[in-house]
Structure 1
Amino acid sequence: DEDVYSTFYIPAGKIYVELWEHENDADYQRIKQQKLQAYAKHGLTLLELSMSDLASLDDVMPRLLLKHGIEAY
């Protein structure tokens, strides 16, 4: 089996969170694609965040979590 390390993990919904940081780096994009394939292969729930999401994380994160049945307080 392969090891995949996410940025965060939310046990309440078994949700993995990835913050994609280096979108203009070719090596990073290769790693990103490998990770996306691993998440899909194992049927893992993934929330994807970009660096631009950080400015409004209090708005973005609750919406993403709600899509997976987790209500943020």
Structure 2
Amino acid sequence: MSPDKILFSETGGFVLEVLPKNIDVIKSIFSNYSLDIFDIGSTGGESIEINGITDIYVNETKKAWTNGLREKL
């Protein structure tokens, strides 16, 4: 599945933050239940980078999420 479809598909899903040392356990659990799992990026720092698809600054997205509707009205 292409990265944009993984990020923006209408299918419900979950985003998990997993320590690198635990990723094999998580993959095994998902595999046992025949569930797909995708590594879409990492957390930390001042920005959100999703496998080279996007690099978003956390402060900017927080402001947009918190004040977006208020600013449009």
TM-score clears 0.5? no
Larger RCO, structures 1/2 (Cα 8 Å, 6+ apart): 1
Structure 2 length as normaliser, TM-score?
A: 0.35
Scaled by the length of structure 1, the TM-score of the pair is 0.35
Q: Which has the larger radius of gyration?
A: 2
